[in-house]
Amino acid sequence: MASSDEKPEEELTTDERMAWLRARGVVVEEPAGRAPAATGGVPFTYVWIPLDINLDCTERVARKSIGDELLAVLGPLFASVAAVSDASLMAKAAQMGESVDIAAMRSVLNKGGAETFRLAPATKENGRESVYAYLDEASALKGLPKNERASALAVACGFPGSCELRGDIFIGRQKYDEVGVVENIDFNLAEVEAGSLWLCRAPKENLEFQKETQAENHAKAQEGGPEKPASGAGDGYTWRDEDEELEVEVEVEKGTSKKDVKVEFRKQEVRMTKPKTLNLKLFEQIDVDGCNWTIGDGKIVLTLGKANPAPWPQLLA
């Protein structure tokens, strides 16, 4: 018996056509109560990055079905909008240029829905594996706060500092076969850490993907030159992003000597106890062995080697 991949499109049954679309990552709306048949239910892991920075990121488990199962699994998790008032929803809709009846809006939001943001594309070199962030499709309408850790992950993948992922975020991996059929595969908790293989290669892969699929936008971006490195100032210090390092200049009294300085570099923190007290909780992790300090007339320069060379949009967490 011929499979749906072998049959001409006009000979496919409705169920076969739906299955073919889902296997390629297409979300298909169906009447309530109808769901795609499972294809074995093999478990796979994905990661939850909570909006609340006081909560730890954790691994979760779902079971494979046809295509990207996480869209169906996570959609209902975003259905709770009881805390969002009608007035807030209408104000957000107006701000976004939308004119929607509140009852229709509530109906859509109460159903819940997930959407994806591609962090790393599938390439032949990486085994046709892509990594996606899954978020509430109505996060902007609900006015959800920025998820600092998830947004930092996007920046580490080569996206600009203006890229913001809002609300609770889930990270999952997909694998495509040679004809484009997609399945969920494991994405583990350790892989959200700086230095993970997929994260190190994501900036280059995203740039190549843009070059191949959005040639005009890629050319314009190259003409415009690189984005200006971030910099800023705090209480008694200034900082700037220097590609693979960051430099922090701390104001001190003129005549301060090396023996009067005490600085400690930690994984995601810098502590100065002499000649002044300074405690910096950093935006991302640093390579402690790649850090040092020098002293000049009226300033101490802290050089922080990045654990991941991606640009930092800000100094502090």
Domains of the chain, with CATH numbers?
38-222 (no CATH), 231-305 (2.60.40.790)
Closest C-alpha to 76, from 132, 37, 35: 35
Please report the pLDDT score of residue 133 as a whole number: 96
- What is the mean predicted confidence (pLDDT) over 173-183? 87
**Least confident span in 52-61, 95-104, 119-128:** 95-104
- What is the mean predicted confidence (pLDDT) over 145-154? 92
Contact between residue 188 and residue 198 where contact means Cβ atoms under 8 Å apart: no
Please report the pLDDT score of residue 29 as a whole number: 43
Both ends of the chain: CA-CA distance in Å? 58
Q: Is the pLDDT of residue 31 over 80?
A: no
Grade residue 3 by pLDDT with cuts at 50, 70 and 90. Answer: low
Q: Is the pLDDT of residue 36 over 80?
A: no
Q: Is the pLDDT of residue 47 over 80?
A: yes
List, in sequence order, every beta strand (DSSP E) within 55-125.
58-63, 114-120
How many Å is the Cα radius of gyration of the chain?
A: 24
Contact between residue 181 and residue 39 where contact means Cβ atoms under 8 Å apart: no
Q: Is the pLDDT of residue 14 over 90?
A: no
Q: Is the dihedral of CA 144, 149, 153, 158 positive or negative?
A: positive
Q: Is the pLDDT of residue 189 over 50?
A: yes
Please report the pLDDT score of residue 312 as a whole number: 84
Alpha carbons 266 and 77: distance in angstroms, whole number: 37
**Least confident span in 72-81, 99-108, 143-152:** 99-108
Mean pLDDT rounded to a whole number for the chain: 81
Contact between residue 239 and residue 247 where contact means Cβ atoms under 8 Å apart: yes
Closest C-alpha to 199, from 137, 119, 271: 119
The phi, psi pair for 92, rounded to 5°, reads -65, -40
> Measuring CA to CA, how many Å separate 153 from each of 53, 133, 190?
14, 10, 13
Grade residue 13 by pLDDT with cuts at 50, 70 and 90. Answer: low
Q: Is the pLDDT of residue 15 over 70?
A: no
Q: Name which residue leads in pLDDT, 133 or 208.
A: 133
